[in-house]
Chain A
Amino acid sequence: MTTIPLTYPLTLGAILFGLVLYGALTQRNAIRILMCVELMLNAVNINLVAFAATLREAAAAGQIFALFVMTVAAAEVALALAIILILARRESHIDIERVHLLRW
């Protein structure tokens, strides 16, 4: 199916995930954090597809799992943006350091 060694895509997934993990932990803009979370899910999908490409008996399972991750990501981005829009309307900013709603 492919001639790429498994370590290449796995390393790419780890580096991408690390980069956006750093972004999600340091940024204060809610929309940018949402972008970072979306890219995290994408980095995980790279891993799933890589395993599906190498372990042939799991080809269908790996890709279908990646497909479900995509579904959940699409649902998540719609809800998250609705919440961010409410936040922007109420507080007139989307700086999560200054938000005191939804906190324990």
Chain B
Amino acid sequence: MDATRIAFIVLAAVAVVSAFRVVTAPKIMHAALWLGFTFMLVAGVFVTLGAEFLAAAQVLVYVGAVTTIILFGIMLSQAAEVRSRDPLQRERLEGAAFWRRGVLPVLATVAFVAIMVTVYMRVPWPAPPGGVIDTVRLIGSALFTTYVIPFELAAVLLLIALVGAIVLAVRDDNKEEQGS
């Protein structure tokens, strides 16, 4: 048991607990904060797996941008259940909803995790190579040679998403009154 492996196990255990809190925290604001914490822990997992550049990108994009945007979304939407307790925690499920939202998700989740972990345990994976290689340099050169077209397309995708989000979110009072 070397230090990297212990660090990984600790980070993984805390990440699973905090992901569980994202799903179960009664207040949506707390869930958003747990979400940011989970993203930080996943960044730590990336570091233990030797992906320093992705860890930095994870902190910048997910912790810095996504969590902040979600917090803004929570604060900007005036719907009552966004800010107060989730009314969905204590409701009773009856009839079809019991199967659709009570039983089926549990079955699907347990089956998925069981199948995946069984497969992972049975496959003879190659041993971890050990040693250190400079992944940042590797990614940098590959991104601007082999993957330059996907890279440019990603930039266009982000621009389209930005414009689309602005177009969607701009308040258009005239249209809303007509109900369109």
Using a CB–CB cutoff of 8 Å, the interface residues on chain A facing chain B are 1-12, 14-23, 25-29, 31-32, 34-36, 38-39, 42, 45-46, 49-50, 52-56, 59-61, 63-64, 66-68, 70-79, 81-86, 88-95
- Known A-B contacts A35-B32, A63-B139, A79-B164; the reply to A19 vs B19 at CB < 8 A is yes
Tell me which residues across on chain A come within 8 A of B154, comparing CB atoms: 68, 71-72
Indicate which residue in A12, A67, A94 contacts B15 across the interface (CB closer than 8 Å): A12
The residues of B with any CB-CB pair to A shorter than 8 Å are 2, 4-5, 8-9, 12, 15-16, 19-20, 22-23, 28, 31-32, 35, 38-39, 42, 45-46, 48-51, 53-54, 57-58, 61-62, 65-66, 69-70, 72-74, 76-82, 86-88, 101-102, 104-106, 108-110, 112-113, 116-117, 120-121, 125-133, 135, 138-139, 141-143, 146-147, 150, 154, 157-158, 160-162, 164-166, 168-169, 171, 176
- Contact, CB under 8 Å: B157 / A20: no
Query: Given B12, B121, B164, B171, which contacts A12 in the complex, CB threshold below 8 Å?
Result: B12
Give the distance to chain B from A21, nearest Cβ to Cβ, in Å: 5
What separation, in Å, do the CA atoms of A88 and B120 have in the docked complex?
42
Whether A60 pairs with B139 at a CB distance below 8 angstroms is: yes
**Given contacts A2-B49, A38-B35, is CB(A74)–CB(B165) below 8 Å?**
no
Q: Which residues of B contact A94 (CB under 8 A)?
A: 77, 79, 81-82
Chain B min CB distance to A81 (Å)? 4
Q: How far is the CA of A1 from the CA of B20 in the complex (A)?
A: 30
List 18 extra interface pairs beyond A3-B128, A4-B4, A21-B105, CB under 8 A: A1-B129, A8-B8, A14-B117, A15-B113, A18-B110, A21-B112, A29-B88, A31-B28, A38-B35, A38-B66, A46-B46, A63-B135, A66-B51, A75-B160, A76-B161, A77-B69, A78-B162, A85-B73
B contact patch SS: helix
Closest to A18 in B: B113
- In the complex, A56 Cα to B125 Cα: how many Å? 13
A19 in complex: contacting residue of B16, B66, B108, CB < 8 Å: B16
Report whether A20 and B54 are in contact in the complex, using a CB–CB cutoff of 8 Å. no
CB of B150 within 8 A of CB of A68, answer yes
* Across the A-B interface, the 3 shortest Cβ-Cβ residue pairs: A75-B161, A23-B23, A88-B77
Is B168 a contact partner of A22 (Cβ separation < 8 A)? no
User: In the docked arrangement, what's the CA distance between A67 and B54, Å?
Assistant: 7
Collect the chain A residues with CB atoms within 8 Å of residue B58's CB. 42, 45, 70
